[in-house]
Amino acid sequence: MAEIHLPGDIVSLTVPGEKRTEVIGCGLERLINNPDQLLVVQPGVRRVSHGKQWMAVHSRRYVPQKGDRVIGIVTSMHGETFKVDIGAADVAFISFLSFEGATRRNRPNLKVGDLIYASVATATKHLEPELTCVDGEGRARGMGSLPSGGFLFKTSLNFVRRILSPTSRLLSLIGKDIKFEITTGINGRIWIKGINVMEVIAVHRIIKDSEFISEKNIPAFVDKQISRLYGFPVTADDSDNDRMS
């Protein structure tokens, strides 16, 4: 479903034909006096999928939500915690014990400027967001410090959600011709690492330029960009027809 809403609108917690809403995402808040209704706090398109409701917002300002996977930048160290910039209004923090295998004698070797891929453990209005790099079983599951030598860039939050959607073919199509590693944070940050600088720049450009290409035209768009990268002939540029109306 897709409904456009503005801040102040009231929407129902239950949606006909959809699973019971278990997770309330960005742009929505539960009403204290009526828990069966939600208050819209950010303008955008209302999305409902697999028991979750959120507002698809075209914004670069990230609002932390519990369970979000984000890319953060270590900004400082204070005692037993690291301060981490996740692009939100407040700086987040993470304990050195919130890494797989970490103990008081075996602390993670993080420095200011290092990147981490983490999950938001707690997020409230009145406290700094808390991060963790382990799940409930103490396993990293892909989280932790990101390797050096990668390239980090930012994009809109709405576009990141589109990339992470199961229906998106963008990354798999690029990966057929270019070998690269990628970590995508729901906070609008994307980290990529490739075999050489030329291919990293190419992947970055293809991802950024695809933001306003309709999903049905993504295969043709990626094929055209890959052909240009390797010097293969391409048809006349009809990119204007590829873009979302």
Total domain count, the chain: 3
The CA distance from 192 to 147, in Å, is: 10
244 pLDDT more than 50: yes
Could you tell me the pTM of the whole model?
0.80
64, 126 Cβ separation under 8 angstroms: no
> What is the tens place of the pLDDT at every residue in 75-91?
999 889 999 999 999 99
64, 129 Cβ separation under 8 angstroms: yes
| Residue range(s) defining the domain that contains residue 89 | 69-145
The answer on 162 and 127 residing in a single domain is no
Q: Is residue 64 part of a domain?
A: no
242 pLDDT more than 90: no
> What is the tens place of the pLDDT at every residue in 106-153?
889 899 999 999 999 999 878 899 999 999 999 999 999 999 999 999
Domain boundary among 129, 145, 161: 145
> What is the tens place of the pLDDT at every residue in 6-16?
899 999 888 87
CATH label of the domain that carries residue 47: 2.40.50
The CA distance from 75 to 115, in Å, is: 10
Q: Which of 57-66, 91-100, 229-238 is least confident?
A: 229-238
CATH label of the domain that carries residue 79: 2.40.50.140
Most distant CA pair in the chain, distance = 63
